[in-house]
Amino acid sequence: MNQRVALITGGAKGIGRGIALDLAARHWKIAFCYRTSETEAQKTARAITERGGQALAVRCDVSDPAAAKALVSQVEKEWGRIDALINGAGPYHRINLFDETVEGWNKMFDGNLHPIFYLAQAVAPGMKARKAGRIISFSMANADQMISQTDVTAHYIAKAGVLILTRTLAKLLAPHGITVNAVSPGFIDSGSAPPEELAGMTKRIPAGYIGTVDDTVAAVRYLLSDEARYVNGANIQISGAWGI
């Protein structure tokens, strides 16, 4: 375990940070990237070190295919390998479809879907050579329902695409000892939404309460474990039964 290396996109705060700190307690080496959250990234890097891990914080826009490839190369040069790729980055905005701009539309796909493809292509050769690896991507709890979404259309389509890409990568990489799975959160108190907004959603959740970052981290911990070696192409919903 001491030699395992994880690359986490969007790891400076929220769920990505929670995953990084959980792995740090297990003495992983953790590289994480961020685009604008410099202060949060520095705090997260310090927290990783304090918990027994090693940290490498890199400013990188993984929606740029060249930058995504360079990020993987940098981590592999620094630590020699990547055992787990965790795709946590992904912008979100709420806007009616007919008020959406071309720029806003493309941003949802460039941020949520395309980097998974870029990064998977980049990490796959090393994982194949070692006959081992884990790739985990984030979708959303009702993305598999293929329902209408008038105010988050592009984001929703991108997250549905994440599930298709996850299953495709799983089939391609399973012969090489690599698992590829998705985690699909519902309403999680990760700091990205105002508390009053989350509170208003509680009545829509069958479990009756908002999920925590720890709930999501637990699912990721399982998928990274040896116990999940035969779990491949799965989608784990973390939603208190919302969105099913």
pLDDT tens for 188-218 read 999 877 778 788 889 999 999 999 999 999 9
Rounded Cα distance between 94 and 100, Å, is 9
* pLDDT bracket for residue 83 (50, 70, 90): very high
Residues with catalytic function: 156
Angle at 88 between CA 80 and CA 92, to 5 degrees: 150
Contact 41, 12 (CB under 8 A): yes
Higher-confidence position of 191 and 87: 87
Stronger pLDDT, 100 or 191, i.e. the higher one: 100
Helices (H), 113-182: 114-130, 153-173
Which domains does the chain possess?
5-90+118-141+163-238 (3.40.50.720)
Residue 185 CA, distance from chain mean position: 10
Given a cut of 90, whether residue 79 has pLDDT beyond it is: yes
Per-residue pLDDT, 1: 46
Task: Note the pLDDT of residue 100.
Answer: 97
For 108-120, how does the pLDDT look when each residue is reduced to its tens digit (9 = 90+)? 999 999 999 999 9
pLDDT digits (tens, 9 = 90+) for 35-71: 988 999 999 999 999 999 999 999 999 999 999 999 9
Cα angle 211-217-220, degrees, rounded to a multiple of 5: 125
- Other beta carbons within 10 Å of 26: 15
Cα–Cα distance measured from residue 163 to residue 144, given in angstroms and rounded to the nearest whole number? 8
Q: Is 31 helix (H, G, I), strand (E, B) or coil?
A: strand
**What's the pTM?**
0.95
Span 66-77, average pLDDT = 98
Q: What is the mean pLDDT of residues 3-32?
A: 96
In this model, does residue 2 exceed pLDDT 70?
Answer: no
Residue 11 pLDDT > 90, yes or no? yes
Q: CA torsion 16→78→57→131, rounded to 10°?
A: -10
The region that residue 40 occupies, defined by phi over 0 for left and psi between -120 and 50 for alpha, beta otherwise, is alpha
186 in Cβ contact with 143 (< 8 Å)? no
Distance between CA atoms of 217 and 136, rounded to whole angstroms?
12
10: left (phi > 0), else alpha (psi -120 to 50), else beta? Answer: left
Mean pLDDT of the chain: 96
